[in-house]
A and B are shown apart, each in its own frame.
Chain A
Amino acid sequence: MTDLFYAYHNVIDLCLLNSMLAFGCFILLGVNLFSLATGGLMAIGAYLSIWLTMQQGWSFAPALTAALVAASLAAFGLGSLVLRLRGDYFTMATLAFTEVVRIIALNWDSVTGGALGVFGIPQLTETWQLAGLLALVIYLIWAVRHSAVGERMRAIAADELAVSTAGHDVARFKLALFTASGAIAGLGGGLAAHLNMFIAPGDFGFLRSVDTVIAPVLGGVWNLAGPVIGASVLVVLPEALRFSAQMREILIGVTMLAVVLFLPAGLVGLPKLSRRRAAS
């Protein structure tokens, strides 16, 4: 049993970590914001936390807290600038932010090691920490969704104009959510950096940002289980399909396409759908 756990140790860690990151996008998708800033915000958390643990001798918990604070500040600053943009323009601006951070990381050799990356990072992230922090994130989001704030989130998603006409400050509300999403990304970045002993600027680019958006979309944007299911499927699928060698990438693509086409509510909609089938 323990051997089985160790054989799939990293798979479990990645499921937990990516689920947490997916929640950062999940809360934004809840108010119709499609952000690709996750990669850049993660990079800030990751590089700051390894600089603190490796160069400044900080212990893990304060370093993670610093990563969380720094990334939420960055998200606050970025959000104040780009949240006035709508739809595609907002997405493009957040992507530009991720690219800028990546290019800074490539050129700031003394801290980031440039393209060669940083290796020999102490392995401080433990499975129980990931599980505990993920549970905390889920609890907080659950609590928010079941409060008046959650009501307003759903209202903004349904009709933003109506909410602002009713006298609510939608812009400030979105900024608060964007900052919270930055905090999750920064925390995830710090945890990711201390998971596999090595990071390089390429880890926090466009692909990373897209992955964290795909997870909640795949799992289900309206259900708290959605990000966890989506992220876990994205981690486990490549492992489960490894037998198929060259077909693997095609099969992953086909699976995702099928989910988006036939399960508009995401994978969480699957049991409901099959129940309906059984009933009819």
Chain B
Amino acid sequence: MASVTLSRRAVLTIGGAVALSGSAVFAQTTRVAKIGLVQSTTGGSAALYGIQQKQAIELAFAEINAANTLKDIKLEAIHADDGADRGQTVNIFQRLIRQDKVVAILGPTLSNSAFAADPIAQQAGIPVIASSNTAPNLTKMGDFIFRTSIPEDQVFPTVLRYAVQKRGIKKVALIYGLDDALTRGAHDVQKKAVTELGLEQVGIESYQRGDVDFSAQLTKIREQKPDAVILGTLAEEAAAILRQARQLGFDDKITFIGCNANISAKLFDLAGPAADGIIVGASWFEGYDSPRSKAFVAAYQKRYGSSPDIYAAQGYDAAYLLAEAIRRADDVTNSRLTRDKLASISDFEGVLGRFGWSADRDATVQPKVLIGDGKSKVFVAAATS
């Protein structure tokens, strides 16, 4: 009996040795760059953005690996879900950096999580590229923090200037969600842009998350007779405001100007024809007319059977930017070198267009002004010239 066990052990040993030597040979020919992918796939509405980014980034890595763009380097995404809970984001960052020894991190989904977790990466010298954080001052946390999600303050001034030029707007009213970091941040930017353009601000109204009836605020706004109403709202709230404004008999000449968060198919589903003519600004939209963008939309639809949103596009570009940095560094473990190479990329041809980094490591994407078409339920690019 004993001899049988022994021989079995011997077989295992030999087998193990063979397997080990096999992997050793394999390791000589390919190097694996481990990349942390921190996106919420559970935890309420954050999961909607997180899943889109995760899918787009995994699509990008699959394409890069299949095309052998990085020759002997393979990209491996280690995904971890933080459930939109900041404590977990910090847990994940520490584990990815200390245990999995990733060379870079893509994420996290929420700005709040980034404020808590990014300093850990900064301290450890691991580059981070965010593709959905839009909070102001995010990249000021350190020189290892990058983002492809352009914040509201790079988009909204362009949008407002367009509206002023085309529609002759002079008096504006603002409405925003008081208790949501996204809408509050958008409102701050909008207010600043209004002041800078010298427009008359006739009123500011606010509401809290979960509110569905905006008639009190809208009635007040109607009395103030603005030329435009500026929305610092989420898509569902924007839709309700648009619909209720029509019901309250708002003049058709009053222009509604939305923020980044309003660019969603949900806006049209919920507002219907009331969304006609709303002006918004974005770094990208599904109908964006560029070969790179069209190829991305097609590939995404083929792989996942659904349409990518703006966060997917930003995540996809983040993945390609990181791959380019790793290619230039030609190293799968040196995160500082990867960071330097990433920072050196300029004139990147991405889904969002051609862009580089600003001094604060924000993507310098040309914002696109979009107008809602309530009938065909899409945003169309406005003629900016």
Give the interface of A toward B (CB within 8 A).
3-4, 6-11, 14, 103, 106-107, 114-117, 119-120, 123, 196-198, 200-203, 235, 238-239, 242, 245-246, 248-249
Given A8-B95, A239-B91: A201 in contact with B116 (beta carbons within 8 A)? no
Contact with A along B173-191 (1 / 0, CB 8 A): 0000011110111001000
Which stretch (B18-26, B79-87, B144-152, B313-321) binds chain A?
B79-87
Q: Are A107 and B90 in contact (CB under 8 A)?
A: no
Judged by a CB distance under 8 angstroms, whether B37 is at the interface is no
Q: Are B42 and A248 in contact (CB under 8 A)?
A: yes
Return 24 A-B CB contacts under 8 Å, by A number: A4-B99, A6-B98, A7-B98, A8-B94, A10-B87, A10-B91, A107-B178, A114-B178, A116-B188, A117-B112, A117-B181, A119-B137, A123-B119, A196-B90, A197-B119, A198-B86, A198-B116, A200-B181, A201-B179, A235-B87, A239-B88, A239-B91, A248-B81, A248-B83
Judged by a CB distance under 8 angstroms, whether B135 is at the interface is yes
Q: Are A196 and B185 in contact (CB under 8 A)?
A: no
Q: Which residue of A lies closest to B117 (CB)?
A: A196
Q: Which of B238-277 contact A (CB under 8 A)?
A: none
CA distance A205 to B326 in the complex (A): 42
CA distance A242 to B61 in the complex (A): 22
Q: Are B87 and A116 in contact (CB under 8 A)?
A: no
Question: B115 — which chain A residues lie within 8 A by C-beta?
Answer: 117, 119, 197-198
Question: B117 — which chain A residues lie within 8 A by C-beta?
Answer: 196
Q: Are B135 and A245 in contact (CB under 8 A)?
A: no
Q: Are B99 and A7 in contact (CB under 8 A)?
A: yes
CA distance A248 to B94 in the complex (A): 20
> A230 to nearest B CB, angstroms?
16
Q: Which of B323-348 contact A (CB under 8 A)?
A: none
CA distance A117 to B179 in the complex (A): 10
Q: Are A115 and B98 in contact (CB under 8 A)?
A: no
Q: Which of B80, B99, B135, B188 contacts A242 (CB 8 A)?
A: B80
> A166 to nearest B CB, angstroms?
45
Contact with A along B199-228 (1 / 0, CB 8 A): 000000000000000000000000000000
Q: Which residue of B lies closest to A201 (CB)?
A: B179
Given A3-B98, A3-B99, A246-B41: A115 in contact with B179 (beta carbons within 8 A)? yes
Give the interface of B toward A (CB within 8 A).
41-42, 80-81, 83, 85-88, 90-91, 94-95, 97-99, 112, 115-117, 119, 135, 137, 141, 178-181, 183-185, 188
Q: Are B91 and A106 in contact (CB under 8 A)?
A: no
Given A196-B90, A238-B88: A7 in contact with B95 (beta carbons within 8 A)? yes
CA distance A249 to B184 in the complex (A): 29
CA distance A271 to B331 in the complex (A): 51
CA distance A250 to B116 in the complex (A): 26
User: Chain B's interface: helix, strand, loop or mixed, by majority?
Assistant: helix
**Known contacts A3-B98, A239-B91, then 20 further A-B pairs from the complex at CB < 8 Å, ordered by chain A residue:** A3-B99, A7-B97, A8-B94, A10-B90, A10-B91, A11-B94, A106-B179, A114-B178, A115-B184, A116-B188, A120-B141, A196-B116, A200-B112, A235-B87, A239-B88, A242-B80, A245-B81, A246-B41, A248-B42, A248-B83
Q: Which of B85, B91, B141, B178 contacts A115 (CB 8 A)?
A: B178
Given A107-B178, A116-B135, A116-B185: A6 in contact with B94 (beta carbons within 8 A)? yes
CA distance A6 to B99 in the complex (A): 9
> B81 to nearest A CB, angstroms?
6
Q: Are A197 and B116 in contact (CB under 8 A)?
A: yes
Give the one of A3, A198, A203 with max B CB within 10 A: A198
Question: B112 — which chain A residues lie within 8 A by C-beta?
Answer: 117, 198, 200, 202
Question: B80 — which chain A residues lie within 8 A by C-beta?
Answer: 242
CA distance A249 to B112 in the complex (A): 21
Question: A3 — which chain B residues lie within 8 A by C-beta?
Answer: 98-99
Q: Are B94 and A10 in contact (CB under 8 A)?
A: yes
Question: B137 — which chain A residues lie within 8 A by C-beta?
Answer: 119
CA distance A4 to B117 in the complex (A): 18
Q: Are A242 and B81 in contact (CB under 8 A)?
A: yes
CA distance A117 to B182 in the complex (A): 11
Q: Which residue of B lies closest to A102 (CB)?
A: B179
> B313 to nearest A CB, angstroms?
24
CA distance A245 to B54 in the complex (A): 13
CA distance A76 to B219 in the complex (A): 43
CA distance A3 to B100 in the complex (A): 11
Given A3-B98, A7-B99, A114-B184: A196 in contact with B179 (beta carbons within 8 A)? no
CA distance A8 to B96 in the complex (A): 10
Question: A103 — which chain B residues lie within 8 A by C-beta?
Answer: 179
Q: Which residue of B lies closest to A203 (CB)?
A: B86
Question: B188 — which chain A residues lie within 8 A by C-beta?
Answer: 116
Q: Are B90 and A115 in contact (CB under 8 A)?
A: no
Question: A202 — which chain B residues lie within 8 A by C-beta?
Answer: 112
Q: Are A7 and B178 in contact (CB under 8 A)?
A: no
Question: A7 — which chain B residues lie within 8 A by C-beta?
Answer: 94-95, 97-99
Question: B97 — which chain A residues lie within 8 A by C-beta?
Answer: 7
Q: Are A116 and B181 in contact (CB under 8 A)?
A: yes
Question: B81 — which chain A residues lie within 8 A by C-beta?
Answer: 242, 245, 248
Question: A11 — which chain B residues lie within 8 A by C-beta?
Answer: 91, 94
CA distance A198 to B87 in the complex (A): 11
CA distance A10 to B80 in the complex (A): 16
